[in-house]
Amino acid sequence: MEDATLLSPEAHSDLRRRSPYRYLHAKEMAFCPVMPGELDHVFANFPVVFVKDAETGAFSCVALFSLDEKENLFVAKDGAWMATYAPEALRVYPFSVGTTDGENGSVCFIDDPDYCSYSVGEKVFDDSGKPTLFLETINRQLAILVAGERQIAGHIAQLVEHRVLTELAVVTKRKSGKSNRLQGIYTTDRNALTTLDDSTVVELHRSGALAFAFGCGASIVHITNLVQRKNLGAEDPIVSVDAAESTTQ
Amino acid sequence: MIKDILIVGGGTAGWITAARLAKKYGPESSRPVSVTLIESPNIKTIGVGEGTWPSLRETLEAIGVSETEFIRDCGATFKQGGKFVSWVHDDPDEYYYHPFNLPAGHHEINLAGYWKSDNEATAFADAVDCQARLCEAGLAPKKITTPEFKAISNYAYHLDTNRFGEFLRNICKDKLGVTHIEADVEQVNCADDGYITSVSLADDSTVSADLFIDCTGGRSLLLGQTLGVKFKSCQDVLFVDHALAAQVPHDDSVPVACHTIATAQAAGWIWDIGLQYRRGIGHVYSSAHISDEEVEANLRRYINAIEPNKADDLTFRKIPIKNGYREQFWVKNCVAVGLSAGFVEPLEASAIMLLESAAKMITERLPVDRESMMTVSKMFNRAISERWERIVDFLKLHYAITKRTDNEFWIDNTRPEGMSDTLKEMLAMWRHLPPDELDFVTTSNVFPAASYLYVLLGMQYSCDYGGSMGDKRALSTAKKYLASTDHAYNRLVTELPSHRALLNAVCEHGMQPV
């Protein structure tokens, strides 16, 4: 993975981002974080689940693009996005927010030739070196991603505190009889949600965490979509998938 | 009606019992009771007792404790079993493990008859499970992503007993509504029928209750001294009568063992328990077989081998050990939990496990009135006596089949007079039949049959279990499970963090409750 470079009008005055936008950069991303402002769209298209960070154990909330690692069933060979909606987190590449010393909060980019050009596409800086409308849009999107992650983390903290998250056991069975059990995916527990006490219900409703929790729970049905996409042209298709709240550890 | 409960004495026994009762019978419950604990500001707790069994995970969860907070506040580390060094021969390189994991396929098949068919050099514990290898590799029993109290490899804890007491006290007072009185009990008052009515404190006030729980430690103020229940010594079976204990500090950058190390010595053994910031090291011994000077020299040698020249800065604490337990544990309206009920040397960290068992039983079967208390107390006494007998037998097992002859201590330990009839009969049977759950009477056995198997085979007991093999299908099942342990090890060794890395991650990030 290339390192990101700090964007500067001096060094990158001619930088352009290619159009139309393609999603090749996401072809091995099995999931990406979701933003509060796009929940209706992601709930309507993808399973939205919770996964833990391998280093810290912290939960994040993500849209799933495949049941297999390093695979994205929504990126076509030519990079087109194969659903009606692409999450915000996937649309800012090659730009990102810098996290290196002293550059916190500044915009960086990866000089990926599939996305960057110095002759064609959307200009990043205008002739006087000021950010174009395009770059300002990117800046806004990046800011939304940072703030959104914090807001989602707040919802997650509330759901963990009130014991609303539960592990999901996703078991797939193939035509050959091979079965696979997916680990480490969590969803919201509808039973736990409906038995919360009144004051907790009000608290979660006011913060938005309640609607968020119900939406995540409902989105699990999209796992069937993932299976259908995976099966297209597959030699050993998945014949059954069972996604149930895990009762054993 | 039993409505007010008074626990006399703090420490691990007092506070775990208080927490269990207060959690189950709190003000919102269907049967609220009041729980009061009187703790002396002058009498210290025993201050040792750092090893536990996996039952503590269940106990902490039942009380509503966060595993993250427990590990952070009590300097706790994970424990995956015990490593016994030099118990069969006086050989510093020889060891066996008694891990917490049950052998592969234990619900379906007993691998005792099948494990030897492959490599002679493989130890039983390594053939039927991979936990011992994980311990040797210094790996943790789970990952930072594993939820609180859940295990990848079965585990218990090592903990700082003083901090643990404080931790539990705070939970009891802040979250569970336990009333805490800091005072010395001057007198225990009884009615004509012998039932305890109240205790009198130094300031002449009295505290009454319906049920009294004696957590006063070895002095057994209520059960032993007031109600006169006799102490049955088993010093003729378990010979050790003292421990010399030390604490060796270390910081959070050094590796820490994920198991208790018990190294046999000339006339006893040395425990070595790693916490986050120190190692508890103590020499258990029989003063009839070795002098205090030799014991101290052994301990220094052991400590210096770990941390050169550290031994000189340390204070050693001599603790007397009286192996034995009360003839009864629940008499009238008084029940003893912890050291007041009895004690045996810490060879298998049974003390905390047993007090947890007692506290759970009292909580789950809390009598409603005196009549039901008579029946409950009978059942309690039967269950706890059985547990003590099994614990004494199991500990004796570690000594009884040694091949060491370097000191009279070991030779004396193999004499039949020092073993219960049950143990002698079991040992004879276990020459040809491997230990099985059917060998033990109680429904909730203290140690699973597999534990006896780990110790028997670890001690290289002369036995032949070939006759317990089944048919071809059983053989194939056995082969499958034996093969699975290597696969499990190869997978886990790449996935599991080191013990120290997990501890640091828990302290920094915490564990998720789910």
Per-residue pLDDT of A156-167, as tens digits, reads 999 999 999 999
Q: Which of B312, B267, B262 lies closest to B290, judged by CA?
A: B267
Q: Report how far residue B360's alpha carbon sits from residue B388's, in angstroms, rounded to the nearest whole number.
A: 16
pLDDT beyond 70 at A34? yes
Of A113-122, B109-118, B466-475, which one has max mean pLDDT? A113-122
The Cα–Cα gap between B469 and B464 comes to 11
Q: Which residues of B82-121 are buried (b: 16+ CB within 10 A; e: fewer)?
A: bbbbbbbebeeeebbbbbbbbbbbbeebbbbbbbbeeeee
What residues contact residue B113 under an 8 Å CB cut-off, 6+ apart?
B434, B465, B466, B467, B468, B469, B470, B478
The SS3 of residue A26 is helix
Average pLDDT over residues B158-164: 96
Rounded distance, CA B316 to CA B307, Å?
A: 16
Residues in Cβ contact with A207 at an 8 Å cutoff, skipping those fewer than 6 apart? A154, A155, A158
- Average pLDDT for B486-508: 97
What's chain A's average pLDDT?
92
**Structure tokens that stand for B196 in this block:** 């305890």
Q: How far apart are CA B234 and CA B413, in angstroms?
A: 13
Does pLDDT of B239 surpass 70?
A: yes
At residue B197, what is the residue type?
A: T
What are the tens digits of pLDDT across the range B67-116?
Answer: 999 999 999 999 999 999 999 999 999 999 999 999 999 999 999 989 88
Sheet holding B268-274, edge to edge: B95-99, B81-85, B260-265, B268-274, B278-285, B242-249, B317-320
How high does pLDDT run on average in chain B?
Answer: 95
C-beta atoms of A160 and B512 within 8 A: yes
Mean pLDDT of the B126-136 span? 97
Is B443 a residue whose pLDDT tops 70?
no
CA distance A111 to A115: 8
The end-to-end CA distance of chain A, in Å, is: 35
Name the minimum distance, in Å, from the CA of B389 to any CA of chain A.
Answer: 34
| Closest in A54, A160, A163 to B145, CB measured | A54
Residue B301 has a CB neighbour count (10 Å cut-off) of 12
* Residue B310 reports pLDDT greater than 90: no
pLDDT score of A244:
81
Q: Can you tell me which residue has the tokens 């203290």? A: B446
Q: CB of B197 within 8 A of CB of B212?
A: no
Overall average pLDDT of the A5-23 stretch: 92
Q: How far apart are CA B127 and CA A113, in angstroms?
A: 55
Sequence-distant (6+) residues with CB within 8 A of A128 are: none
One-letter identity of residue A70: K
- The confidence band for B10, taking pLDDT boundaries of 50, 70 and 90, is very high
Residue A216 and residue A222: Cα distance in Å, rounded? 11
- Confidence band, pLDDT 50/70/90 cuts, at residue B406: very high
Interface contact flag, A52 B509, Cβ < 8 Å: no
Q: Mean pLDDT lowest for which of A156-165, A222-231, B10-19, B437-446?
A: B437-446
Q: What residue has token string 């500990």?
A: B395
- Which backbone phi and psi does B169 adopt, to 5 degrees? -60, -45
What is the mean predicted confidence (pLDDT) over A106-118? 92
Q: Is the pLDDT of residue A1 over 60?
A: no
For residue B377, what pLDDT is reported?
A: 97
Percent residues over pLDDT 90 in chain A: 84
Judge whether B178 and B66 are in contact, CB under 8 Å.
no
Cα–Cα distance for residue pair A64/A220, rounded to 1 Å: 10
Chain A residues close to B153, C-beta within 8 Å? none
- Give the model's pLDDT for residue B89: 97
Cα distance from B202 to chain A (closest Cα, Å)? 44
- Mean pLDDT in residue range A114-139: 93
CA-CA distance, B336 to B330, in Å (whole number)? 7
Give the pLDDT of residue B49.
Answer: 75
DSSP character string of B383-409: HHHHHHHHHHHHHHHHHHT----SSHH
Answer yes or no: do A57 and B144 touch at CB < 8 A.
yes
DSSP assignment of A131-183 equals: BPHHHHHHHHHHHHHHHHHHHHHHHHHHHHHTT-EEEEEEEEEETTS-EEEEE
- Cis peptide bond N-terminal to A94, omega within 30: yes
Shortest distance, CA B54 to any CA of chain A (angstroms): 16
- Residues in chain B within 8 Å Cβ distance of A249: 147, 150
Looking at residue A249, what is its pLDDT?
41
Q: How far is B365 from chain A (nearest CA, A)?
A: 28
H or E element: which one contains B82? strand B81-85
Cβ–Cβ < 8 Å for A62, A49:
yes
pLDDT for position B122: 87
Q: Residue with structure tokens 């049977």?
A: B429
> What distance in Å separates the CA atoms of residue B229 and residue B129, rounded to the nearest whole number?
44
Question: Taking 70 as the threshold, does the pLDDT of residue B46 lie above it?
Answer: yes
Residue-level pLDDT at A170:
92
Q: Regarding predicted confidence, which is higher, B40 or B309?
A: B40
Are A216 and A188 in contact, with CB atoms under 8 Å apart? yes
Q: Are B514 and A57 an interchain contact pair (Cβ–Cβ within 8 Å)?
A: no
Token reading at A30: 């099995």
Per-residue confidence (pLDDT) for residue B255, from 0 to 100: 96
Query: A81 vs A23, B274, B452, CA distance in Å?
Result: 6, 54, 61
The count of other CB atoms within 10 Å of the CB of residue A68 is 14
For B496, nearest residue in chain A (alpha carbons): A54
Q: Of the candidates A56, A58, A160, which has its C-beta nearest B514's C-beta?
A: A160
Give the pLDDT band of residue B469 (cuts 50, 70, 90): confident
Q: What is the ipTM score, two decimals?
A: 0.85
In DSSP terms, A81 is beta-bridged to A75
Q: Which residues of B touch A (CB under 8 A)?
A: 143-145, 147, 150, 505, 508-514
Burial class (CB in 10 A: 0-12, 13-18, 19+), B337: buried
> Is the per-residue pLDDT at A105 higher than 80?
no
A249 in B contact zone (CB under 8 Å): yes
User: What residues of B act catalytically?
Assistant: 79
Angle between helices A209-219 and A198-207 (to 10 degrees): 90
* Banded pLDDT at B446 (limits 50, 70, 90): confident
Residue partners of A11: CB distance under 8 A and separation at least 6: A5
Residue A247's pLDDT band (boundaries 50, 70, 90)? low
Give contacts of A 145-174 with B, CB under 8 A: 160, 163, 165-167
pLDDT band at B247 (very low <50, low <70, confident <90, very high): very high
The 3-state DSSP class for residue A44 equals helix
CA–CA distance, B501 with B376 (Å, rounded to integer): 46
Q: Taking CB atoms and an 8 Å cutoff, what residues of chain A touch B150? A: 249
Strand blocks (E) in A53-153: 59-64, 95-97, 107-109, 116-117, 122-123
Phi, psi dihedral angles at B476 (to 5 degrees): -70, -40
Mean pLDDT on B271-283: 96
CA-to-CA dists, residue A88 to A32, A148, B135, B298, angstroms? 9, 10, 45, 67
Q: Is the pLDDT of residue A102 over 80?
A: no
Which pLDDT score, from 0 to 100, does residue B438 have? 85
* Cα-Cα end-to-end distance for chain B: 40
Are B310 and B304 a contacting pair, CB within 8 Å? Answer: yes
Q: What are B404's two structure tokens?
A: 């060491």
Pairwise CA distance, residues A42 & A37, whole Å: 10
Contact assessment for residue B162 and residue B82, using Cβ atoms and an 8 Å cutoff: no
